[in-house]
A = this chain, B = another copy of it.
């Protein structure tokens, strides 16, 4: 039943990062809409905040800290819609 491109956000419940994860999900769905198959929120533990696109890890908090949303959008755009402009967030 999974739809692709599938974006997955695994967040730490102990750290109370649900709202952060849900906010990230809606930012990506607002920007990419039907270009995304789905965005899955995955409850986890131990300080995890990992973002995966079709199974590939594209962001991990433990490596890089929390992602800047503009940076995350660029990473997703480059993989699923390389010709799409991200407007003003492109020009940071």
Contacts and interface: CB of A to CB of B under 8 A. Distances in A.
Interface of A: 1-3, 6, 8, 13, 18-19, 22, 25-26, 29-30, 33-34, 36-43, 45, 52, 55
Nearest to A34: B43
Nearest to A54: B1
B37 A38 contact: no
6 contacts: A13-B33, A37-B42, A38-B43, A39-B41, A40-B40, A41-B41
Nearest to A32: B43
Contacts of A42: 3, 37-38
Contact of A18 (B18, B30, B41): B30
